Amino acid sequence: MITLENVSVYRNKKQILKDVNWQVKNGEHWSILGLNGSGKTTLLNIVNGYIFPTKGDVEVLDHVFGKSYIPKLREEIGLVSSSLQKQLRGFDSVLSIVLSGKFGSIGLYEEVEKKDVELARHYMELLNCSHLEDEQFEYLSQGERQRVLISRALMANPKILILDEPCNGLDLISREELLHFIGKIAEREDAPTLILVTHYTEEILPCFNHTLLIKEGQVFAKGLSQELLTESTLSEFYGRPISVHEEQNRVWLALK
């Protein structure tokens, strides 16, 4: 699904990523964990084809960077991010925003068919936002907006769905509700490969069976989540003594 080999990125004479090697196989769901400035966003932009590496090789969904038409690749990747949320028009209805996901457009300009509307309503029901169909996007809560954006991303039937800090700005209840729906998506037989970017281990659901730890632009560790999310590894990763508490098959951290 994704292969990065010795990928480095320089911007303004500063190295943002250094010799990143990472492979995502079909059937795997990954979390990417790192502090601010660790390179997570740059890594996502490479996967999406918005940034080309300064050096190294990238292949995503059989698209080899430098040899493929990258806009075609983006049609196969769903993205939910705060930057996308800011681009959407607040006066658009929820239904029109979800439908626009089929075309990857900001605003709905294409003619839609009955089956498109039915599919949009199917995903809105899955994400528990069908009752918001006629509401304007700008009047939704942050949690409601995120559920709408995930519904929108699913409209294109993506092979990869990237969730870039989807719980950012949510209260406890809204966060847990959103994570519940993300878990439901992962359970579907036709689920896309999920990539969750987060600052917090407690947001890493059991379905995210692999984790990439990124620190100062480098891969600190990668592999099975249950083997990496331990006191010893995370204490070394954060450079501070960390205590780990496990509940509901999720890892919660505290500084010692």
Q: Is residue 81 part of a domain?
A: no
Domain containing residue 51: CATH number: 3.40.50.300
* Confidence class for position 110, pLDDT limits 50, 70, 90: low
- Domain boundary among the residues 140, 157, 174 is at 157
Q: Is residue 98 part of a domain?
A: yes
Do 248 and 192 share a structural domain? yes
**What Rg value do the Cα atoms of the chain yield, rounded?**
18
Do 244 and 144 share a structural domain? no
| CA of residue 256 relative to chain centroid, distance | 30
Q: Is residue 193 part of a domain?
A: yes
Do 171 and 62 share a structural domain? yes
What does the pLDDT average to over 69-77? 85
CB contact burial 135-165 (16+ within 10 A = b; e otherwise): eebeebebbbbbbbbbbbbbbbebbbbbbbb
Whether the predicted pLDDT of 127 surpasses 70: yes
What does the pLDDT average to over 67-96? 84
Which domain, by its residues, includes 144? 88-157
Residue 106 has what pLDDT? 66
Phi/psi for 100 (5° steps) reads: -65, -20
Residue 17 has what pLDDT? 94
pLDDT digits (tens, 9 = 90+) for 137-179: 899 998 899 999 999 999 888 999 999 999 988 899 999 999 9
What does the pLDDT average to over 59-74? 87
